[in-house]
Amino acid sequence: MTAPTPNWWKSSTCYQIWPASYKDSNGDGIGDIPGIISTLPYLKDLGIETIWLSPMYASPQKDMGYDISDYEDIYPPYGTLADMDELIEKCHGMGMKLILDLVVNHTSDQHKWFVESRKDKTNKYADWYIWRDPKIVDGKQQPPNNWRATFGGSAWEYVEERDQYYLHLFVAEQPDLNWELEETRQAIYKSAIDFWLKKGIDGFRVDTANLYSKDTLYPDAAITAPGEVTQPAFKHYLNGPRMHEWLREIREQVLDNYGDVLMVGELPYTERDEVLRYVSAEAREYSCVFDFDVVMLGNDHVGGGKKHQTFTHTLPQFKAAIAKCQDMLVGTDAWVTVFLENHDQGRSLSRFATDKDEFRDQAAKMLAVLLCCLTGTLFIYQGQEIGMYNHPEHWGIEEIRDIDSLNAYNDVKERHDGDELWLKKAMKGIQAVGRDNARLPVHWDASPNAGFTTGSPWIRVHDEFEKTNVADQQKDPNSVLHFWKKMIALRKEHADLLVFGTQFEVWDRHDQHVFTFTKSHPTTGDKLLVFLSFSDDIEPLHYPTWVKDAEKELLISTVAEVGKYLAPWEARAYLLKGGAVNGA
């Protein structure tokens, strides 16, 4: 079907690759770019049209590549610039696009800009980062304010050479760039953006896309965590006063030279009206953004160190979060993304469905129906297409590599004097929402190390890779992988309704076991009716009253034969022709 839009990225099916854990080609235990290149036919066959490659830049890897020491070079274990050129060329040769992570709120403390900046207050790079004098209280030196870093602790680090502190909203090895200085901005545009667009990439996923503009007075944050030294300071650096100005500057000075460049922003903790300012087509800032309401359910660790406070969300809360994102399209010229997984989240099967052996495949297929039937640009995360799930509960902290999870665990350990009960709570939270769940190696086959590497993997491979792997699922026409392939093809065939459908409506907002929603074709009046079971039991099927006697065509089902009831974790979608649903 012809999509009613000139933007290629709206109807594109995107696939995120976390390079360290995707495919190792040389046996060093770390995924690499040649490994990615070797799987391009697999991705093409799946129906992928755009690859999002997470950071592959030169980096000391204090935060898995989000601490960049050179925007114009590659982390050696991943490969070379020549490998990247080959990846770009081969993606385009197969009709696929490639987007990269854009990480420009901060650099690594080993980037040449910061190495020079920290030397003294008078060199060329002196003001390229955010430096402030110490605060003296009762004769004692303290950080300039009480802001808390995202992963916990103070957001300021002292440097003796300057007798000043620099700001780092993340770890100390990730100093924040000073966007207020035009010279800094121009260097960022040239090195981090233009360099790669010249090489032919098709866009960026923009990391921490609303943090560049800070409150330049750097006041203390209000006390919202009594008794603690540092305080969450979001209001002083989220969606700051010059964010929109700078994003328009990027579009006008750089992106417009390269046509329809995709810029998909990461915008956590941002209200609807503010999000719309970023994604309005007229504003020309971000093409679309990731809405985090869904993936943050049960994941209450804002401000660092709170992973032990995870809680169980309800299906009505899940429906409400999805509806909020879909409603972003009502009466606006905005666009949204559709996703349940990325490199920062637990696996969707474990988070939102079930990873019990007897229901796991059915639940994975059900989530595929949900995602492929929502309006927006679809993003799939590596391994999601085979139904990978969270690491086992018995794993200990020694298996964890993620700095966020390690900081959270150590924070609990320190606060509670190593109390065993509290440490178990911390590990339970890490098992539920820790970032390493998504960063375990992809299961390519049932050979040692899941076919990810012939060497020793940088992080432990999931214990149950023999149950869930690409090679076995490719042979099984009823596998999760084959079902995903079928759903992606169906989404393309019915793009006007599945990708661009309007009037999203949930019909059972308070039902704890079944999720029923409808969407409409933008012009014909055709409707999509979707039933999703989130239950281990058989559930009754409740049609909206206006649809009971309408002529229904079954578009897709996760079971061989549909009945009058929903089987456990079943999904089905019906097409209702416009004339059959008068007045609906």
Encoded tokens for 314:
């309800």
pLDDT value, residue 3: 41
Query: What does the pLDDT read at residue 303?
Result: 45
What confidence score (pLDDT) does residue 269 get? 84
Please check whether residue 66 lies inside any domain of the structure. yes
**Do 61 and 205 have their domain in common?**
yes
Give the domain CATH number at 519.
Answer: 2.60.40.1180
Nearest to 179 by CA among 216, 204, 148, 150: 216
CA distance 354 to 359: 7
Please state, in angstroms and rounded to a whole number, the distance separating the CA atoms of residues 439 and 424. Answer: 22
DSSP state of 512: S
CA distance 158 to 176: 14
How far is the C-alpha of 457 from the C-alpha of 465, rounded, in Å?
14
Could you tell me if 322 and 387 lie in one domain? yes
Tokens standing for residue 381 = 């995360």
Kindly provide the b/e burial profile for residues 344-360, where b requires at least 16 CB atoms within 10 angstroms of the residue's own CB.
bbbbbbbbbbbbeeebb
Q: Does one domain contain both 78 and 122?
A: no
Same structural domain for residues 116 and 81?
no
80 plus 205 within the same structural domain:
yes
Task: Assess if residue 303 is contained within a domain.
Answer: yes
Domain with 212, as residue range(s), is: 13-107+182-480
**pTM for this model (two decimals):** 0.95
Q: Which positions are annotated as active-site residues? A: 207, 266
Domain end residue (candidates: 167, 196, 212): 167
Residue 485 lies in a domain: no
Residues 95 and 117 both lie in one domain: no
Q: Which residues contact 420 (CB under 8 A, 6 or more apart)?
A: none
- Asked whether residue 92 falls in the same domain as residue 124, the answer is no
Is 329 among the domain residues? Answer: yes
Judgement on whether residues 547 and 533 belong to the same structural domain of the protein: yes
Q: Is residue 278 part of a domain?
A: yes
Sole residue written with tokens 């300071």: 233
Same domain, 160 and 293: no
Q: Specify whether the backbone of 65 is left (phi greater than 0), alpha (psi in -120 to 50) or beta.
A: left
Q: Are residues 400 and 436 in the same domain?
A: yes
Q: What residues are paired with 129 via a beta bridge?
A: 177
CATH of the domain at 122: 3.90.400.10
Helices 420-433, 403-415: inter-axial angle, 10-degree rounding: 160
In this structure, what are the phi and psi dihedrals at residue 190, rounded to the nearest 5 degrees?
Answer: -70, -45
Report which of 531, 530, 550, 549 is spatially closest to residue 540, judged by C-alpha positions. 531
**Cα–Cα nearest to 318, from 571, 534, 497:** 534
Q: What confidence score (pLDDT) does residue 2 get?
A: 42
Tokens of 43: 């991705």
Same-domain status, 87 and 120: no
Say how many domains are in the chain.
3
Say if residue 235 is in the same domain as residue 296. yes
Is 4 domain-assigned? Answer: no
| 6/368 Cα distance (integer angstroms) | 26
| In-domain check, residue 374 | yes
Alpha helices in 144-230 (DSSP H): 182-188, 195-199
Question: Is residue 35 included in any domain, yes or no?
Answer: yes
In three-state form (DSSP H/G/I as H, E/B as E, the rest C), the secondary structure along 291-306 is: CCCCCCCCCCCCCCCC
pLDDT in tens, the chain (584 residues): 344 446 999 999 999 999 999 999 999 999 999 999 999 999 999 999 999 999 999 999 999 999 999 999 999 999 999 999 999 999 999 999 999 999 999 999 999 999 999 999 999 999 999 999 999 999 999 999 999 999 889 999 999 999 999 999 999 999 999 999 999 999 999 999 999 999 999 999 999 999 999 999 999 999 999 999 999 999 999 999 999 999 999 999 999 999 999 999 998 888 889 999 999 999 999 999 998 889 988 775 444 446 556 668 899 999 999 999 999 999 999 999 999 999 999 999 999 999 999 999 999 999 999 999 999 999 999 999 999 999 999 999 999 999 889 988 998 999 899 999 999 999 998 998 899 999 999 999 999 999 999 999 999 999 999 999 999 999 999 999 999 999 999 999 999 999 999 999 999 999 999 999 999 998 988 999 999 999 999 999 999 888 877 789 999 999 999 999 999 999 999 999 875 554 44
